[in-house]
Structure 1
Amino acid sequence: MASGSSHLPAGMTKEEMGLGSVTEAEMWWRTHYTWLLESGYRLRQRYAPDWVPSWKGKSGMEAFRHEDGQRAREAFVMDAVRLSDGTVVILKRVNVGSNPLEVDMTKLVNLPHLRDNPANHCVHFYGVLHSPINPGYDILIIPLLRPFWKPKFETIGEIVGCVLQLFEGLRFMHDNLVAHRDPHRRNIMMDASPMYPEGWHFSYIGEGDMTRDFSKPAVPLSRTMAPTPVKYYFVDFGIAVIFDNSDEPHLIEPVLSGDRTAPELQGDKEFQPTDPFPTDVYYIGNTIREVFFGRDELFSGYRGMGFMKSLISDMTQKDPSKRPTMAEAEARMKKIAAGMTQLRLRSPAVSRREFFLFSIFRGFGRWKRSWKQWRQGVPALRELSS
């Protein structure tokens, strides 16, 4: 945050604000508060022009304990309440100059004949606003989503269900000649509303979750016990591309994505036209490898992932021509799932970093929950209704 006092609420010192001060990145949203309100969307109170921090008169260290002390996680996304129905949505700031196609591609994958297909896992599009304050920016309005790996998966069946949905969604895009070109883990989200009956605070970064009003911890149901299945979505279509039926072969100049490890884009090859569909296959395979196998330092992975090791290995082969198509990968994953027993699907998903003896101790409680769900007839593998 700048040192100028213009960013400080009236009567508040920099020391009193502490970590709750409005950052430079957040100021963009603060300047749009009144216009967004007039447009039907209310940002959190910390962005209101007349905001007075709730911890006024206390130490700046208190900010983190208050709802209005929660800073935005990222500069380009913000949560808001849609005034027409009270729904919490996400507003995504789009720089039209650097991402000229994102809004149009998001609209395209939401055309009625595509959006209504249950296999479509492209993020839903609620609308777009054009900033009158910064004309070079649009604001995409999309559902409230969260990273697909948070909270942790509790059973093997939950992991299998997630992978099946992701493969289905990317296969659907490819069937319609849409290459995402960045199906990296940061661009895969889930609608976790069935897991959080009282919602969750979008910006809270502490341990666990808090309710949106910050009155208490938000304790989620498991994916298995949620009243309806969670659905996973692909977001960020800024570098996606669609081909015509006549475009053979499907070659296009590569672009940088969140995953910089695709073998066909290394060295001088990153400037050579390439087919983005096998690269999509690599990206989603590598995402599974990172998150569930623990091939990334940010993720511990889970034990017992051998059932899809061969498939993921094929999807991440060095030679793109040797990788399966998404249709083939989905078919293989469905076959794997069909061959898994109820006992296997209900097995606890155990972190690879969890101490062995601790796993045994916690295992009793995990299995007790699984057996109870089995007796109650709760499906081990949740299917989305069409």
Structure 2
Amino acid sequence: MSLPDPSTNRRARGSKLQGRLGGSELFWRDHYEWLLEKGYQLRSRYQPDWKPSWEGTTKAWYDCPDGLHPMHGSILDASRSSDGELVTLKRISKSLYPFEREIGLFFSSPAMAKSVHNHCVPIYEALQVPDDENICILVMPMLRPYEHPRFDTIGEAVEFFRQIFEGLQFMHQYHVAHRDATHSNVMFDARSLYRDPYHPSIPWRKLDLSGRARHYTRTQRPVKYYLTDFGLSRQYKAEDLPTREDIIMGGDKSVPEFSTAETCDPFPADVYTIGNLVKGLTEGDELTSAMLGFDFMKPLVAAMTHEDPTKRPTMDEVVTRFEQIQKGLSSWKLRSRIVKESDSYVGGLFRGIYHWGRRLVFVIKRVPPLPTP
């Protein structure tokens, strides 16, 4: 899956509004002052007295930082007053998603946060909205989609697989089923990767929209990946396992048992969805062009996506099998450039030249082929 083309995306999201506030944004405008008191400053477009910067000029609204709509109505960026750090605010309904806050805070507790195996998005703070008991705002780090920018080497992708397998295993060890571990809910912390701060609404552009945001490769600046969005997640008591849950479809609706039964065990379903995510990257799907050179992942992915949930490995077994796969990969293989089926000859040629230059430098400097943070 790749981010949409900026020239079409920025217009499509707000062409009818011409940069004006959409309905879902009014909540943020109405709570601007309260959030400021709590230590979080929203963009200027949410100030109660906001006047569009493009009015009276020749600029188009989509070329102005204050003209851009958020990518999701319930999620917004903010600047933390104490240090200027960009964070993400997520508005949740406690009646619709009664366990999201609880599970997020559970994995963000000091005891959990110190584990290197924990890949659940950190919750810095949970704010209760003063005028609505049903609404809570979760404060999290600013993250971006895991696949953008694209992986440069096979080693970078292998490290991604390792981290997301480890992260889901960690959740399962505490009897928590994610239930929506799909493309949109796997992200990463890109602060070390990007040389330029990027705009949250169009993250391939600089914060001030003056140009493309420059970045390093993951080999140069290793990153950490996170599982996000615990709206459908559930935690169980050990004595209640295995369990059955009513089918609630998340982002991946291809889970076989979703179409053959009214209930399912959510843990094998998790194994399927994270395996299907890897399959989409390595073998291609309707959203993604296949990354070539990953035949070594096919047996494990096939087991994880088996039609019979009772024949899928547990996440403990997935991690063990993956460790053996990783040990069998040479440094040469891990440093190899990722080629996609959709890559053009000319584009691939230029990427190949740049890649070999970087590769030579990495070998000389002994930069590890697996970019572990």
Answer yes or no: same fold by TM over 0.5: yes
Match of 1:192 in 2: 190
Is 1:326–2:315 an aligned residue pair? Answer: yes
Is 1:256–2:249 an aligned residue pair? Answer: yes
Is the Cα–Cα contact under 8 Å of residues 185 and 287 in structure 1 kept in the other structure?
Answer: yes
Unaligned runs of 5+ in 2: 1-14
Match of 1:337 in 2: 326
Encode CA deviations 1:278-334: one digit per residue, 9 max, x unaligned: 111001000111233222x22213111211011101100001111111111111112
Unaligned runs of 5+ in 1: 1-15
> Of 276, 279, 290, which residue of structure 2 is paired with 1:286?
276
Residue 51 of structure 1, CA deviation: 1.4
Q: Secondary structure at the match of 2:239?
A: coil
Match of 1:213 in 2: 208
Q: Secondary structure at the match of 2:352?
A: helix
In the aligned structure 2, how far is the partner of 1:294 from the partner of 1:374?
Answer: 30
Encode CA deviations 1:38-90: one digit per residue, 9 max, x unaligned: 1111000111112122212135x611111111111110100001112211110
Residue 18 of structure 1, CA deviation: 6.4
Q: 1:17 to 1:287 in 2, by over 3 A?
A: closer
Is the Cα–Cα contact under 8 Å of residues 129 and 139 in structure 1 kept in the other structure?
Answer: yes
Q: Secondary structure at the match of 1:79?
A: strand
Q: Which has the higher contact order (CA 8 A, sep 6+)?
A: 2
> Of 160, 177, 180, which residue of structure 2 is paired with 1:179?
177
Number of matched pairs: 359
Encode CA deviations 1:321-350: one digit per residue, 9 max, x unaligned: 111111111111121111111111111111
Instruction: Among all aligned residue pairs of Structure 1 and Structure 2, give the percentage whose two residues are the same amino acid.
Output: 39
Larger displacement relative to structure 2 (188-197 or 154-163): 188-197
Residue 133 of structure 1, CA deviation: 3.5
Q: How does 1:1-386 map to 2 (within 5 A)?
A: 19-59=18-58, 62-204=60-202, 209-226=204-221, 229-267=222-260, 269=261, 271-272=262-263, 274-295=264-285, 297-356=286-345, 358-360=347-349, 362-384=351-373
Larger displacement relative to structure 2 (254-263 or 348-357): 348-357
In the aligned structure 2, how far is the partner of 1:173 from the partner of 1:360?
Answer: 42
Is the Cα–Cα contact under 8 Å of residues 20 and 71 in structure 1 kept in the other structure?
Answer: yes
Residue 17 of structure 1, CA deviation: 10
Residue 352 of structure 1, CA deviation: 1.2
Residue 358 of structure 1, CA deviation: 4.7
Residue 171 of structure 1, CA deviation: 0.8
Residue 356 of structure 1, CA deviation: 4.3
Larger radius of gyration: 1
In the aligned structure 2, how far is the partner of 1:90 from the partner of 1:362?
Answer: 33
Return the letter of the residue paired with 1:166: I
In the aligned structure 2, how far is the partner of 1:294 from the partner of 1:140?
Answer: 34
In the aligned structure 2, how far is the partner of 1:63 from the partner of 1:248?
Answer: 54
Q: Secondary structure at the match of 2:18?
A: helix
Is the Cα–Cα contact under 8 Å of residues 195 and 214 in structure 2 kept in the other structure?
Answer: no
Encode CA deviations 1:199-242: one digit per residue, 9 max, x unaligned: 2111126xxx222233443101111111xx20000111112111
Encode CA deviations 1:161-220: one digit per residue, 9 max, x unaligned: 000000011111111111111101111110111101432111126xxx222233443101
Is the Cα–Cα contact under 8 Å of residues 39 and 80 in structure 2 kept in the other structure?
Answer: yes
- For the aligned residue pairs, the C-alpha RMSD in angstroms reads 1.8
Is the Cα–Cα contact under 8 Å of residues 18 and 63 in structure 1 kept in the other structure?
Answer: no
Q: 1:361 to 1:150 in 2, by over 3 A?
A: closer
Q: 1:235 to 1:22 in 2, by over 3 A?
A: same
Residue 113 of structure 1, CA deviation: 2.1
In the aligned structure 1, how far is the partner of 2:175 from the partner of 2:76?
Answer: 31
Q: 1:292 to 1:33 in 2, by over 3 A?
A: farther
